[in-house]
Chains A and B, each alone.
Chain A
């Protein structure tokens, strides 16, 4: 992995992936206890996509993601406490508790949108990228969306506009094989979604979404191209979500053995094995990371629960700016 990132950084990624994994597991637990309500769309199994991509961003770059966006938000630096507070509807949440699970947003970290409408984040990212271009700023934008989003109009509209205007944006498909409850092949007439870049004359690249090093390398290259004025790219991350679509989905539509097969290529294990082999983080040290992260997650959830809830009247200020 020489040249992709320095060793400390990759150890940091390992910790971040555990943070995301254990955060999502904790969400599940808090749901059972009633501290979190409504719905959640968890991302266990997709950590390498979030961490590998977000780590390619430079200061000033922005991204939009989706209702399955906890991974990106945490990778950007949102603290677990802020995330839990948001999930508990409390004022210490990133969106003051009015946003909820589907809207982990922090503009100061470059997180300019987590959208509950499939496909809606793509044009917003194109707009941000266009804005940078018009203002002569050296920044770029990433936009994360699922395989299901490649069938909605805004996907095609956004890719077309980005290609016509050569905006510095990178489109990232987190292809976890299912659009909500439906396997990709039952809804989508294209096998490799990266090919959907072809009609727009932009690179369409299939990426191993389980290997954070590969993800980081490909997103970095695409973002660099985009910022150099060479146009946008479409990256298809082949990955898998361990949980169902949302809280109420037991994922009975999966083929027997499918989940187990993907777990053999778990993104945290893949990086962990490499770090151990390269002598950067021993198996014991990895266990230590996991223990520390778990403790931090548990403490964060406890603190988040202490945060007050705004009054409805206090949220009025968030409706209009003027």
Chain B
């Protein structure tokens, strides 16, 4: 891995495209946000040590002395600290080392961050961004492999973003940090080494999904690592004469139903590709919302998810089998078009 600070140019007013790994894109977003706004600080476990556990923070402690703050291992506590900072003039970014640790901060995430403004009658703004390292495939076992992007999706007061590429990581993280409400921002561990073009200085719109590949026969809707796999599945399908449209959801809250509806109006078919169990997640919610809108399906919607009533195992062979694969996504798309 090259050093991030060398790879990342200084942001200019005219965004120019550079090739960055997803990890470098996260680093660039943090760097640009901290350079832009002196009230932005980054805090969490080991955030300043050797670039952080996933090396996303390389160079930041040196460039921004005192603003990259290691915390004790107490997620609920330091999430509350971030809230306290956010209502007294700061804009903290909290790093959660593994998504699986989020429930230890359950009170902060459920009762404090999203409710604090409302129950004061709008007196507070709570600009806290929670960066969450998520996802399987790393051989981290049952308690270090969750994506978790749907765990807290049913909470008014909260925004939830999920980044699938270098560009998405950069612009969604910038948008999350600028947002004046609490945002859970999900990164996927398996994507950190992936390279892609990034236009530095771009800020994503909140709540917009993105059509990454246009197609007419079937819509594949995905987040995080599943976006890459869906695009690969679409390639396979194209070779077989099936035209798949791939949408990166990007925001789990709010869900961009108009974009999804427009696509399904065209294709009449939907495959959800999600690295989570289907129950109670964004995939199930999308299908429910479309059903309630009377979507005229050409075939029943399908979901490629984590297998029902199984948990994520350590064994590399078994973990690979557990996570939705390119082949499974392609197979679901074929079924939906009756092939």
Q: Which residues of A contact B77 (CB under 8 A)?
A: 123, 126, 153-154, 157-158, 160-161
Residues of chain B at interface, number, CB under 8 A: 44
User: Which residue from B111, B123, B180 sits with its C-beta under 8 Å from A107?
Assistant: B123
Q: Which residues of B contact A64 (CB under 8 A)?
A: 84
Report Cα–Cα, A321/B179, bound state, in Å.
9
Q: Mark B72-113, 1 if CB is under 8 A from A, else 0.
A: 101011111111111111101000000000000001100110
User: Which residue from A62, A127, A318 sits with its C-beta under 8 Å from B80?
Assistant: A127
Report Cα–Cα, A64/B84, bound state, in Å.
10
* A103-B120 contact given A131-B89, A154-B77, CB 8 Å threshold: yes
Q: Which residues of A contact B41 (CB under 8 A)?
A: 134
* A128-B123 contact given A135-B89, A157-B74, A157-B76, CB 8 Å threshold: no
* B122 lies within 8 A of chain A by Cβ: yes
A134 lies within 8 A of B84 (CB): no
Q: Which residues of B contact A161 (CB under 8 A)?
A: 71-72, 74, 77-78, 81
B72 lies within 8 A of A318 (CB): no
* B119 lies within 8 A of chain A by Cβ: yes
User: Which residue from A95, A115, A126, A129 sits with its C-beta under 8 Å from B123?
Assistant: A95
Q: Which residues of B contact A154 (CB under 8 A)?
A: 76-77, 80, 107
User: Which residue from A96, A123, A315 sits with its C-beta under 8 Å from B81?
Assistant: A123
Task: Categorize the interface residue count of chain A.
Answer: 35 or more
A120 lies within 8 A of B107 (CB): yes
A97 lies within 8 A of B74 (CB): no
Q: Which residues of A contact B76 (CB under 8 A)?
A: 123, 153-154, 157
Task: Give residues of chain A (122-175) contacting chain B, Cβ–Cβ below 8 Å.
Answer: 122-132, 134-135, 141, 153-154, 157-158, 160-161, 164
* B206 lies within 8 A of chain A by Cβ: yes
Q: Mark A85-116, 1 if CB is under 8 A from B, else 0.
A: 00000000111111100010111000011011
**Chain A residue at minimal CB-CB distance from B86:** A127
* A62-B88 contact given A117-B107, A322-B206, CB 8 Å threshold: yes
* A311 lies within 8 A of chain B by Cβ: no
User: Which residue from A120, A122, A158 sits with its C-beta under 8 Å from B111?
Assistant: A120
What's the least CB distance linking B139 to chain A, in Å?
A: 30
A127 lies within 8 A of B125 (CB): no
Q: Which residues of B contact A112 (CB under 8 A)?
A: 84, 87-88, 124
* B116 lies within 8 A of chain A by Cβ: yes
A320 lies within 8 A of B181 (CB): yes
B107 lies within 8 A of A319 (CB): no
* A132-B88 contact given A107-B120, A315-B118, CB 8 Å threshold: yes
User: Which residue from A153, A157, A318 sits with its C-beta under 8 Å from B117?
Assistant: A318
Task: Give residues of chain B (130-187) contacting chain A, Cβ–Cβ below 8 Å.
Answer: 156-157, 179-181
A93 lies within 8 A of B74 (CB): no
A322 lies within 8 A of B181 (CB): yes
* B258 lies within 8 A of chain A by Cβ: no
Report Cα–Cα, A119/B94, bound state, in Å.
20
What's the least CB distance linking B320 to chain A, in Å?
A: 37
Q: Which residues of A contact B87 (CB under 8 A)?
A: 107, 112-113, 124, 128
Report Cα–Cα, A103/B157, bound state, in Å.
17
* A322-B88 contact given A95-B120, A107-B123, A124-B83, CB 8 Å threshold: no
Most chain B beta carbons < 10 A, residue from A107, A127, A134, A321: A127
* B193 lies within 8 A of chain A by Cβ: no
**Chain A residue at minimal CB-CB distance from B74:** A157
Residue contacts A-B, CB under 8 angstroms, 21 given: A96-B121, A99-B120, A103-B120, A105-B121, A107-B87, A115-B112, A124-B83, A124-B87, A126-B81, A128-B87, A131-B85, A131-B88, A132-B88, A134-B85, A134-B90, A157-B76, A161-B77, A164-B72, A315-B118, A321-B126, A322-B179
B residues lining the A interface (CB < 8 Å): 39, 41, 66, 71-72, 74, 76-90, 92, 107-108, 111-112, 116-127, 156-157, 179-181, 206
Extra inter-chain contacts (15) besides given A98-B119, A117-B112, A321-B180, CB under 8 Å: A62-B88, A117-B107, A120-B107, A123-B76, A123-B83, A126-B84, A128-B84, A130-B84, A135-B39, A141-B84, A154-B77, A158-B80, A161-B71, A318-B121, A322-B206
